[in-house]
Amino acid sequence: MSNNECSIQQTLDVIGDRWMLLIIRNLFRGARRFGELEEDLGIAKNLLTARLNKLVGAGIAERVPYQERPLRHEYLLTQKGRDLSPSLVALMKWGDRWCNDGSAPTVLVHSDCGTPLMQVTHCPTCDDSLDPGQIRSRPGPGAQEALR
């Protein structure tokens, strides 16, 4: 399989730098406006502009006007962007374990009841929780057919 056939590589081509992931994280946290993102992240305006334009161009975020004079926009995650949530949670859980000695600086909780969330991979047929050693890969419907 070449890199251009790998979904991980294709994803990294879109969101695979530090700033993109941190911007997406902040959008999940409720930051919507350019100034909020700039201040919280400590990112240069030109870098933030370029990354937001890339997120909008990729359909991960949308630019929505919130003020007419002067025209100002806020940035909202699309469904495509919201679908990145499990990936960010996985990165966070990995960082909790391997970068913070298992001591999470932030705990994700269910908004309705406050219960801390777990990140679990499970089989939809058996409903078994899976260890990474139990996961295999095989060609999927998006794989290119071998040359004949």
* CATH classification at residue 59: 1.10.10.10
Q: Which domain holds residue 90?
A: 3-134
Q: Residue 148 above 60 pLDDT?
A: no
- Over residues 48-58, the pLDDT tens digits come to 999 999 999 99
Structural domain contains residue 139:
no
Structural domain contains residue 117:
yes
Structural domain contains residue 34:
yes
Tell me the mean pLDDT in the region 29-38. 97
Amino acid at 81: G
Structural domain contains residue 13:
yes
Q: Residue 105 above 70 pLDDT?
A: yes
Structural domain contains residue 146:
no
> Comparing C-alpha atoms, which of 34, 8, 12, 13 is closest to residue 23?
34
pTM summary value: 0.85
Structural domain contains residue 64:
yes
Q: How many structural domains comprise the chain?
A: 1
